[in-house]
Structure 1
Amino acid sequence: MKMREQGVMRGSGGPNKHFAEKIWVPLLAKNTLAPRSSLAVFILILLCIGAFFSTRLLDSSSITSLSVNSPKKSIFTALTSRNHPRPPENPKIPEKPQENQRTQIEIPLNCSLGDTILTCPANYYPSKFSIENPDPPSTPQPTCPEYFRWIHEDLWPWRETGITKGMVRMASKTANFRLVILNGKAYVETYQKSFQTRDTFTLWGILQLLRRYPGQVPDLDLMFDCIDWPVIKKDFYLGPNAKVPPPLFRYCGDNTTLDIVFPDWSFWGWPEINIKPWEDLSKDLKEGNKRSKWVEREPYAYWKGNPAVAKTRMDMLKCNVSDKQDWNARVYGQDWIREHQQGYKQSDLASQCNHRFKIYIEGSAWSVSEKYILACNSVTLLVKPQYYDFFTRSLMPLQHYWPIRDDDKCRSIKYAVDWGNSNEKKAKAIGKAASNFVHEELKMDYVYDYMFHLLSGYAKLLKYKPTIPPKAVELCSESMACPALGLEKKFMMESTVKGPSSKTPCIMPPPFDPATLHSIIERKEKSIKQVEAWEKQYWDRKSKNV
């Protein structure tokens, strides 16, 4: 028995040598056996030989089956794992096979009637889709990011009353369009054209949601306003005798309004200024981050944009470097007319991640530029905002950004940059946390899931069965993309959802309890006050040294 154990343990010459020693130990030890057991040993040897060949045949058929029905595996990996539980001393770790791998069903746009198609192909895209091989129960379904919890807050005003058809009609006063979804199809009544293609790409995004989750988006009826500023004033709907506010969707909100916040059009592209769909642009920004390490970047705060749209931006121009003062800011105005004429050579966002600090400042309201700035690995210097969009309420000062005073921008920027350059490790961590947040928690998968959960929650509040408005027209991806031209068509094609998702939406997190919501607000306020106190100490010391 000792010889058998020694023979097995010495088998370090690879899988085949190990296998041979394990099988043929009885032959090597036959002289130590009593003569009366020779027949038994001979029979045992025959059985071992038979088992060896039958096992080899079984393995061969199993490997052939795997190559047809499973993801590719190394044959040696399959044999080793089956016959040799003890790996070699320095094993080469094989690539882990992808379990439960599903083939993505792709259904291209049907522009077979040419670029003039204005109607939707009948029965072309499936109205429902079910996953044939769902993940096993042991595979946990991912929970949605934290900012999804704000959906509960945005729908809170209608939690008790629900939403009536009269409430929806009241929201039409400022709406650009009315959207009805029935049985997975979209119908749109346009009231007024939006600025540029905001309405076009917002509707395009909703159509892609229907392609991603066919038959899963419930019937609904909503009004959408594409203007920047929220208009449903909270004060008008307070008190015991107050009316219920009209539900109105838009891109941003603030603490004084009740507008329902929805992902903005730029996630599917902004053709007027050549900004790609977010899925492709986020990849470009990741590559841009690799061009220079944080410590190798320019040690200043960078901003480039259109200052004419807001007084606060015009005010920030005073913070630019001059012969008399350097506030550590490098601020540039963007002339979009000239940029268009020159082929957008100076507005490539992925080429603007070369400063340690980047400034975010609102325009006429919130700005779509925030996600591009946060994605750069730079420290985002966030000038005190008034507005929020669907994801920014979960950003925390000193974790994802550095807060900048709105009433004293230049001195605030100067201190922030000096602090960051003196605390490189901490500053770098803030920039990295923001970039990770944007690239991981703001992926298009989550953008679509946010839309899905928001619209599903809204639909549950409706107190009536939606119907197609008399002036509405059916809208589908083909009726929008096939006749489109130029960058509109290009961005639509690039952002088209290829087919039904093989995954279900992420799990919606629960609403905030009052204590948690209060602690989040309090944490933000404390962090901002802490920075303001540091700033004051900094400038007090400066004034004493003058």
Structure 2
Amino acid sequence: MRENSGNVWSPLQRNLGFGHGSGQFGHFREVIWRPFMKLSARSYGLYALFLLLLVGAFVCTRMLDYPTIFAGSASSAEKLSTSKSQIYPQKTQTIPLNCNAINHTGTCPRDYPTTPKNDPDNRPSPGTCPDYFRWIHEDLRPWAHTGITRDAIERAKKTANFRLVIVNGKAYVETFEKSFQTRDVFTLWGILQLLRRYPGKLPDLEMMFDCVDWPVIKSTDYNGPDSPVPPPLFRYCGNDDSLDLVFPDWSFWGWIETNIKPWEALSKDLKEGNKRLNWMEREPYAYWKGNPIVAETRQDLLKCNVSENQDWNARLYAQDWGREVQEGYKKSNLASQCIHRYKIYIEGSAWSVSEKYILACDSVTLIVTPHYYDFFTRGLMPMQHYWPVKEDDKCKSIKFSVNWGNNHKKKAIAIGKAASDFIQEELKMDYVYDYMFHLLNQYSKLLKFKPTIPQKATELCSETMACQAEGLQKKFMMDSLVTSPAETSPCTLPPPYDPPSLNAVLRRKENSMRKVELWEKNYWDNHSKQ
């Protein structure tokens, strides 16, 4: 036997702690191997047994430090995991929910993280944000040249539900009026999760937030040469006649009054729901279920329901939320409503939270002419992500849309798939947080004063909201809690539109809608001649 048997013996030498020639293997050779070679034949057996026991004991001790050599047992895998955590520190620190601090002091924990432990500039970037992020620049354009003064913000207080201030990475809220249901609660909760996701990365800022559906800052009031700077007011939707700043709605963190889960979990449920029936196996009709009381246009939609005398290819259902609450939400599971080839989106008193759930269904979304938009819907394109339906002639428009899709199945399937892909990929929670991050960062750059903590404001943190919560509210908060800083930087904000590119986008939308209107007109003209 040779002292060094090449490639077979060398790895075991290294893993057992033996070197070549000198060092540990040299001691092994001098102390054990050479005496063994000098023994008489009769002593070989006893010495070999002694040597085997010695090497066995040595190997057992080395297994504790080098479990990768003996990867066959579960205990070795556990020790490997432990040793790795000792050698390689965690990429991000966890942020525990410290309810004990709230119970003892009634205030936010003093050691609440406001800066990341690791340099965030070293974190990888996920790339450029989705294209709809470019509307951030358009929404802030009214203040691009004047900036935002404290006076302008105070004038936004007229309809605001609360004032939110961020100073040194901490949030403070001054409440003026409670919102409808828990919209304000979960909006604030979402902002707190943003602070946990990017600790220390949000600049100081002050903002006013209105939780009512419809926008109130009319652009006509601020388009004259002597007009004052418009008040910056955040809300969930806008329209072409308003200057309100559009912000992600509360339901991304849960809507307890309708038992709708936080978006991260619900979007996965919707994705699974799509797999139960492929598009060809679904009912070849247009489906809608909602509360018709909130708007005349929804009550008008119900006239398109199937009857003994007429079938407009629509299957429409009025949602009784009071009864649904009493019966435990048995008939309002969104993930089980992807069973029709077409689904209708129609606004309520303004924009509706339901739009993202409908678009996520793989069905062709029939959008009745909308008057409002939320933060992401301006990224949707007719005939690519949805099919436009006329508001003033809903029934005939729906019937044509369904007939067209059933006669052009491949194109219809592509439209439904493009919409659900958009929702699953470009509206995941990572991008919701990044939209909030970029909007607030760009907004803060326009402030012409240094934000300070208002006298009537109270510090707000995840503990002050979640630790005292109960029932479904607590569950949704815990389900949507950000437990550690993001491992990546925010996506890169794309540049603003230049006038030609913005006009090109708007023209493309308009041309697509006109094309559908022409097809629909020709369909009904031919139908009347028969």
Residue by residue, what CA displacement relative to the aligned partner does 1:35-85 show, whole Å, maximum 9, x if unpaired?
xxxxxxxxxxx9996466446656898xxxxx9999x9999xxxxxxxxxx
Tell me the equivalent position of 1:509: 494
Which segment is superposed worse, 325-334 or 234-243? Answer: 234-243
Letter in 2 for 1:209: L
Matches within 5 A, 1:127-166: 127-131=114-118, 141-166=126-151
Deviation, 1:107, is 2.2
Q: Is the contact made by 1:118 and 1:480 (CA closer than 8 Å) also made in structure 2?
A: no
Q: Aligned pair 1:107/2:95, yes or no?
A: yes
Residue matched to 1:23: none
Residue 298 of structure 1: CA displacement? Answer: 0.5
Q: 1:60 to 1:503 in 2, by over 3 A?
A: farther
Q: Does 1:399 align with 2:384?
A: yes
Deviation at 1:429, TM superposition (A): 0.5
Change in Cα spacing, 1:59 to 1:407, as seen in structure 2 (3 Å) is farther
Unmatched runs of 5 consecutive residues or more in structure 2: 18-62, 72-87
Shift in alpha-carbon separation, 1:460–1:60, aligned structure 2, 3 A: farther
Aligned ranges 1:521-540 → 2 under 5 Å? 521-540=506-525
1:490 aligned residue = 475
Q: Distance in 2 between matches of 1:254 and 1:68?
A: 66
For 1:302, what is the secondary structure of its paired residue?
strand
**1:352 and 1:47, CA in 2 relative to 1: closer, same or farther beyond 3 A?**
same
1:141, distance to aligned residue in structure 2 (A): 4.0
Question: Aligned pair in 2 of structure 1 residues 473, 320: CA closer, same or farther (>3 Å)?
Answer: same
Mapped pair 1:310 → 2:284: no
CA contact (8 A) 2:101 2:109 kept: no
Q: Take 1:457 and 1:101, find their aligned partners in 2: how far apart are those partners?
A: 34
| Counterpart Cα distance in 2 of 1:468 and 1:166 | 16
Task: Provide the residue aligned with 1:208 in structure 2.
Answer: 193
Structure 2 CA distance for aligned equivalents of residues 406 and 172 of structure 1: 34
CA contact (8 A) 1:227 1:250 kept: yes
1:335 aligns with 2:323: no
Which digits, 9 at most, give the CA deviation of each residue in 1:290-335, with x for residues without a partner?
1111100010000000000001000000000000000000000000
Give the whole-Å Cα distance in 2 for the aligned partners of 1:301 and 1:459.
44
* Residue from 269, 274, 281 that aligns with 2:259: 274
Amino acid at match of 1:222: M
Determine the structure 2 residue equivalent to 1:220.
Answer: 205
Amino acid corresponding to residue 401 of structure 1 in structure 2: Y
After TM superposition, the score normalised by the length of structure 1 is 0.82
**Aligned 8 A contact 1:117 1:482 in 2:** no
Shift of 1:217: 0.7
Q: Does 1:256 align with 2:241?
A: yes
Tell me the amino acid that sits aligned with residue 183 of structure 2: R
State the partner residue of 1:39: none
Q: Is the 8 A contact 2:125 2:491 kept in 1?
A: no
- In structure 2, relative to structure 1, the CA distance for the partners of 1:284 and 1:237 (3 Å cut) is same
TM-fit CA distance, 1:131: 3.2
State the alpha-carbon separation in 1 of the partners of residues 189 and 65 from structure 2. Answer: 38
Equivalent of residue 179 in structure 1, options 160, 164, 168: 164
Contact 1:117 1:483 in 2 (8 A): no
Is the CA contact 1:115–1:483 (under 8 Å) kept in the aligned structure 2? no
Tell me what 1:436 maps to: 421
After superposition, the Cα gap between the structure-2 partners of 1:73 and 1:533, relative to the gap in structure 1 and judged at 3 Å, is farther
CA contact (8 A) 2:121 2:489 kept: no
Residue 303 of structure 1: SS of its match in structure 2? strand
| Greater shift in the superposed pair: 158-167 or 46-55 | 46-55
User: Is the CA contact 1:106–1:498 (under 8 Å) kept in the aligned structure 2?
Assistant: yes
Shift of 1:115: 7.2
Consecutive unaligned residues in structure 1, runs of 5 or more: 1-45, 62-66, 76-99
Cα distance in 1 for residues equivalent to 2:133 and 2:486: 20
Cα distance between partner residues in 1 of 2:297 and 2:327: 28
3-state secondary structure, aligned to 2:203:
coil
Match 2:107 to one of 108, 112, 119: 119
Distance 1:118 1:537, change over 3 A: farther
* Inter-partner Cα distance in structure 2 for 1:204 and 1:197: 11
Kept in 1, the 8 Å contact 2:125–2:488? The answer is no
- State the alpha-carbon separation in 2 of the partners of residues 516 and 415 from structure 1: 32
Q: Give the drift of 1:105.
A: 3.3
Deviation at 1:106, TM superposition (A): 2.6
Could you tell me the TM-score, scaled by structure 2's length? 0.84
CA displacement, residues 377-411 of structure 1 (integer Å, 9 cap, x when unaligned): 00000000000000000100000000000010000
What amino acid maps onto 1:121 in structure 2?
A: P
Q: Deviations over 1:450-508 (max 9, x none)?
A: 00000001111111100111111111111111111211111111111112112111111
Looking at structure 2, the residues matched to 446 and 102 of structure 1 have their Cα atoms a distance apart, in angstroms, of: 24
Report the equivalent of 1:92.
none
Q: Distance in 2 between matches of 1:463 and 1:133?
A: 27
**Whole-Å separation in 1 of the counterparts to 2:200 and 2:425:** 27
Deviations 1:413-461 (A, max 9, x none): 0000001111111100000000000011101111000000000011111
Cα displacement (A) at 1:140 = 6.0
Residues 79-94 of structure 1 correspond to what in structure 2 (within 5 A)?
none
CA shift in 2, pair 1:212/1:140, >3 Å: closer
Change (3 A) 1:140 1:68: farther
What CA distance in whole angstroms lies between the structure 2 residues aligned with 1:53 and 1:207? 58
**Does the 8 A contact of 1:174 with 1:225 survive in 2?**
yes
Q: Is the 8 A contact 2:306 2:313 kept in 1?
A: yes
Matched AA of 1:507: T
Q: Is the 8 A contact 1:117 1:479 kept in 2?
A: no
Question: 1:342/1:469 Cα in 2 relative to 1: closer, same or farther (>3 Å)?
Answer: same
Number of paired residues?
A: 472
Letter of the 1:106 counterpart:
T
Aligned partner letter, 2:238: G
Give the one of 179, 194, 199 matched to 2:179: 194
- Percent sequence identity over aligned pairs: 65
The residue aligned with 1:365 is 350
